[in-house]
Structure 1
């Protein structure tokens, strides 16, 4: 089996950043998945692209744009009409931070 490009420490660091709790089996599976992704990128890097023009636009060229303009005026009473709870013109929500 080829040497892994991703270490378990790197997997754990990414999991920490993403606030994921991974079991040891999940860590191993994720490391293997990330290795496969990097191997695929390495394969793509082997392609000869020197005669291929760079792509500067990935979407449809000439996508029509419109001017930003307000089409609905703020109406607090209408927005709050179905609110389960409101106070002084605002949505009232339960406190979640102590």
Structure 2
């Protein structure tokens, strides 16, 4: 049960950083530009993913912190003209 200490973790992180910097410097200009383009595409997609999921994150945070939001959702779902079979199946009887 030997767990790595904080200094061991920092040395591992430093090794990874130096190895990645050495790798980056060993690449040619063309290879660096290709990797920059790939990285910009990935980060652009991540930005869109965060933007599209942000409203759901806000609703989830409100649901976790304010109990009235959850009771409002339950009242709203109960008031919808959904057939009773589906309501009982979903647990809203």
Scaled by the length of structure 2, the TM-score of the pair is 0.35
Greater relative contact order structure (CA < 8 Å, 6+ sep): 1
Bigger share in helix = 2
Bigger share in strand = 1
Scaled by the length of structure 1, the TM-score of the pair is 0.33
